[in-house]
C-alpha cells in the first residue's frame, strides 16, 4: 500500500479511537510478534534514542511512527527498566508539536547533568515547498519523569558547506567541556561529523569537523547516528554511513553501521587517529546503534533491528521492526566485542543439555528445541569442510549457520528462512574468522535470531519469518566434531 504524504504526517492525537483500536487488533493478531524484544505496539519503530541511566533506572526511547509500518512523522517512545530485561512502558516521550520539530522528533542522546536527564535531538522541519531544515534541540526530564522541551532550538541550521542531512546529535562530556557530534553530509557529498563545544549545554560554538582517515569512495555520503566513547585508553567512534558500495562479503546491506577504534579524540583540534572501519554486525538487519555507560561502568549497546529504505514482512500486519537485545561492549585490539548482557540470563526457563560426537552426519536431537530460546553450542576437535547448526527447521524451511573450515569464514544462510521481502540484497552473509574452537550463542525470538560467535567476536543479527511449526534444530558436519550444547526456553 502506498502512503500519501498527508497520511504519513498524520498525528496519533488526531486519529480516531476506532481506527487506533482496529490497528492495534491487527498488530496483536500478527504471528510474528516478538516475545522478549522491544517492539512498537503499532506502527514503525526505528533508531534507539536517549539510552541512559538516570535516577536508578535505564531509560531507552525509540523513533516511532504510530499509525503504520512507514517512516511518517516521528515521535520518541519512552521505556524504563531496572535490569535491561523487564521494561516499563512510559508512553510517548517527545511529540512533534513545536515549530522546530514539526516534521519529526529525530534521533539523539540522553545525558545526565545537574540531576536531570537532558535529551538532545534533531527537530526535523519542512516548509511549504518541502525544503528541510534540521534544528538541534533539547528537552529536559526531571526525576518525576516529566519532560519539558526548551522553547527554542540550540542550533538553528547546518553551518555553511553542509547539506540538510545534518542530524542525530551525540552529546558527551570530555574533561570540563561538553561536545555535540552531529552526523553530516558535506556539499560535495562526503559523510562526516561536525562538532560543537559548550560549557553549559545551552550555548554551542561550532568547532568544525572531526577529521578522520575514513574518507572518499568507500566511506559513504552521509553518516547517521554518531556515537563516541572511551574505553581503556582508546576512543571508539561509531557511525551509520549511507552509500558504501558492496566489497566482497562486506557492506551487503542497504546501509552500514560500524566503528573506528583509535587514540582518544583530540577535541581541541578535532583530530581522530584511528585504525580501519569495521562493520559492527554481519547479519541482515542492524542499524543506528547507541551506547551508554551504566553505573557499573559497563558500556552497553542497543541497535535498531532493521534498516531504512526496506519493507518488512510484518508491514501487512500494521507494524515493523524492533530493537536488538542489549549487548555489553569490550575492546580487543582494534576490535569491539559484543556480549549479551548478563541480566538476560533471567529470561532462561526450562533447560536441556546435550553432549555428543558427530561423524559426517546431520543430527536432530529429540526434545532439544523450543519456539523462543537461548542456545549455547561449543564445537571442539573438529575436522572436515564445515561444521554448523540449523535452526527453525521444518518441512521446507531452515536457517543455517556454519563455519567453513577451508575458507575460514562464518556463514549465515537465510535462503530458506520463510517469508522475506528483501532478497534483492542477497540471502547469505559471510565474514572471515579464524576459529580454533567455535562457540555459538543464539537468541531466537518469534521472528529473529541474534548469533554471537566466540564471545562476541562477530555477531549476526537477522529477522526470520518462519512457520509456526518449523522449530527443529540440527547439528551437522562432513568431518568430525564434538558438540556440547545447552538450550533454555524463553
Ligand atoms: C536513522 C535515521 C536518523 C534519523 C531518524 C529518523 O535511521 O534516519 O538519521 O534521525 O532515522 O527517524
What are 284-310's pLDDT values in tens digits?
A: 999 999 999 999 999 999 999 999 999
The answer as to CATH 3.40.47.10 being correct for domain 348-489 is no
Q: Is 390 in the pocket of ligand 1 (CB under 6 A)?
A: no
Best substitution site from 163, 168, 222 to test ligand 1's pocket, by max atoms within 8 Å of Cβ?
A: 168
- Report pLDDT digits (tens) over 415-466: 999 999 999 999 999 999 999 899 999 999 999 999 999 999 999 999 999 9
Q: Is 338 in the pocket of ligand 1 (CB under 6 A)?
A: no
| Mean pLDDT of the region 60-87 | 98
pLDDT for 61 beyond 90? yes
Percent of the residues in the chain that have a pLDDT greater than 70, as a whole number = 100
HEC secondary structure over the chain? CCCCHHHHCCCHHHCCHHHHHHHHHHHHCCCCCCCCCCCCCCEEEEEEEEEEEECCEEEEEEEEECCCCCCCCCEEEEEEECCCCCEEEEEEEECCCCCCCCCCEEEEEEEEECCEEEEEEEEEEECCCCCEEEEEEEEEECCCCCEEECCCCCECCCCCCEEEEEEEEEEEEECCEEEEEEEEEECCCCEEEEEEEECCCCCCEEEEECECCCCCCCCCCEEEEEEEEEECCEEEEEEEEECCCCECCECCCCCCCEEEEECCCECCCCECCEEEEEECCCCCCCEEEEEEECCCCCEEEEEEECCCCCCCHHHHHCEECEECCCEEEEEECCEEEEEECHHHHHHCCCEEEEEEEEEEEEEECCCCCCCCEEEEEEEECCCCCEEEEEEEECCCCEEEEEEECCCCEEEEEEEECEECCCHHHCCEEEEECCCCCEEEEEEEECCEEEEEECCCCEEEEEECECCCCCCEEEEEEEEEEEEEEEEEEC
Query: Which pLDDT score is estimated for 468?
Result: 96
- Give the domain 5-341 fold: Tachylectin-2; Chain A (2.115.10)
- Report pLDDT digits (tens) over 389-406: 999 999 999 999 999 999
Q: Is 101 in the pocket of ligand 1 (CB under 6 A)?
A: no
pLDDT for 1 beyond 80? no
pLDDT for 214 beyond 90? yes
> Catalytic residues, which ones?
47
Q: Is 308 in the pocket of ligand 1 (CB under 6 A)?
A: yes
Best substitution site from 77, 106, 287 to test ligand 1's pocket, by max atoms within 8 Å of Cβ?
A: 106
Query: Which pLDDT score is estimated for 356?
Result: 97
| Mean pLDDT of the region 249-271 | 98
The protein residue whose alpha carbon is closest to atom 6 in ligand 1 is: 106
Best substitution site from 308, 310, 320 to test ligand 1's pocket, by max atoms within 8 Å of Cβ?
A: 308
Q: Is 224 in the pocket of ligand 1 (CB under 6 A)?
A: yes
| Mean pLDDT of the region 4-24 | 97
pLDDT for 2 beyond 90? no
Give the confidence band of 217 by pLDDT, cuts at 50, 70, 90: confident
Q: Is 185 in the pocket of ligand 1 (CB under 6 A)?
A: no
What is the whole-number distance in angstroms between the Cα of residue 107 and the centre of ligand 1?
6
What is the whole-number distance in angstroms between the Cα of residue 442 and the centre of ligand 1?
28
- Report pLDDT digits (tens) over 336-386: 999 999 999 999 999 999 999 999 999 999 999 999 999 999 999 999 999
What is the whole-number distance in angstroms between the Cα of residue 265 and the centre of ligand 1?
25
What is the whole-number distance in angstroms between the Cα of residue 74 and the centre of ligand 1?
9
What is the whole-number distance in angstroms between the Cα of residue 44 and the centre of ligand 1?
12
Residue ranges per structural domain of the chain: 5-341, 348-489
Amino acid at each position: 500500500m502506498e502512503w500519501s504524504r498527508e497520511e504519513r504526517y498524520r498525528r496519533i492525537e488526531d486519529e480516531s479511537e476506532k481506527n487506533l483500536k482496529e490497528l492495534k487488533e491487527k498488530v496483536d493478531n500478527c504471528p510474528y510478534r516478538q516475545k522478549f524484544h522491544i517492539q512498537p505496539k503499532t506502527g514503525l519503530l526505528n533508531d534507539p534514542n536517549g539510552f541512559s541511566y538516570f535516577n536508578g533506572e535505564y531509560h531507552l526511547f525509540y523513533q516511532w511512527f504510530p499509525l503504520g509500518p512507514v517512516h511518517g512523522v516521528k515521535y520518541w517512545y519512552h521505556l524504563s527498566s531496572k535490569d535491561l530485561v523487564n521494561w516499563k512502558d512510559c508512553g510517548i516521550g517527545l511529540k512533534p508539536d513545536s515549530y522546530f520539530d514539526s516534521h519529526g522528533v529525530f534521533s539523539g542522546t540522553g545525558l545526565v547533568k545537574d540531576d536531570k536527564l537532558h535529551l538532545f535531538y534533531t527537530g526535523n522541519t519542512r516548509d511549504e515547498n518541502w525544503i528541510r531544515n534540521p534544528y538541534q534541540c533539547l528537552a529536559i526530564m526531571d526525576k518525576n519523569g516529566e519532560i519539558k522541551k526548551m522553547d527554542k532550538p540550540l542550533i538553528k541550521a547546518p553551518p555553511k558547506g553542509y547539506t540538510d542531512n545534518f542530524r542525530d546529535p551525540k552529546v558527551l562530556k570530555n574533561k570540563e567541556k561538553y561536545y555535540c557530534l552531529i552526523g553530516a553530509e558535506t556539499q560535495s557529498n562526503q559523510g562526516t561529523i561536525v562538532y560543537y563545544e559548550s560549557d553549559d549545554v545551552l550555548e554551542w560554538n561550532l568547532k568544525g569537523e572531526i577529521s578522520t582517515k575514513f574518507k572518499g569512495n568507500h566511506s559513504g555520503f552521509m553518516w547517521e547516528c554518531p556515537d563516541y566513547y572511551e574505553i581503556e585508553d582508546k576512543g571508539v567512534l561509531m557511525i551509520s554511513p549511507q552509500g558504501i558500495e558492496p566489497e566482497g562479503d562486506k557492506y551487503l546491506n542497504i546501509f552500514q553501521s560500524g566503528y573506528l577504534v583509535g587514540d582518544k579524540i583530540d577535541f581541541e583540534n578535532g583530530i581522530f587517529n584511528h585504525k580501519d572501519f569495521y562493520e559492527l554486525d554481519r547479519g541482515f538487519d542492524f542499524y543506528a546503534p547507541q551506547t551508554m555507560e551504566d553505573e557499573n561502568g559497563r558500556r552497553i549497546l542497543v541497535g535498531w533491528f532493521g534498516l531504512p529504505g526496506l519493507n518488512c514482512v510484518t508491514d501487512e500486519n500494521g507494524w515493523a521492526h524492533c530493537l536488538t537485545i542489549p549487548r555489553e561492549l569490550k575492546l580487543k585490539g582494534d576490535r569491539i566485542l559484543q556480549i549479551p548482557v548478563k541480566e538476560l540470563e533471567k529470561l532462561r526457563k526450562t533447560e536441556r543439555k546435550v553432549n555428543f560426537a558427530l561423524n559426517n552426519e546431520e543430527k536432530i536431537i529429540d526434545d532439544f528445541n523450543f519456539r523462543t530460546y537461548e542456545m549455547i553450542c561449543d564445537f571442539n576437535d573438529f575436522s572436515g569442510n564445515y561444521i554448523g547448526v540449523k535452526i527453525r527447521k521444518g518441512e521446507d524451511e531452515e536457517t543455517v549457520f556454519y563455519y567453513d573450515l577451508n575458507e575460514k569464514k562464518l556463514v549465515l544462510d537465510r535462503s530458506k528462512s520463510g517469508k522475506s521481502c528483501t532478497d534483492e540484497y542477497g540471502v547469505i552473509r559471510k565474514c572471515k574468522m579464524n576459529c580454533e574452537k567455535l562457540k555459538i550463542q543464539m537468541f531466537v525470538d518469534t521472528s529473529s535470531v541474534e548469533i554471537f560467535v566466540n564471545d562476541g567476536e562477530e555477531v549476526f543479527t537477522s529477522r526470520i519469518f518462519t512457520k509456526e511449526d518449523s522449530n527443529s534444530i540440527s547439528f551437522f558436519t562432513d568431518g568430525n566434531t564434538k558438540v556440547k550444547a545447552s538450550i533454555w526456553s524463553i
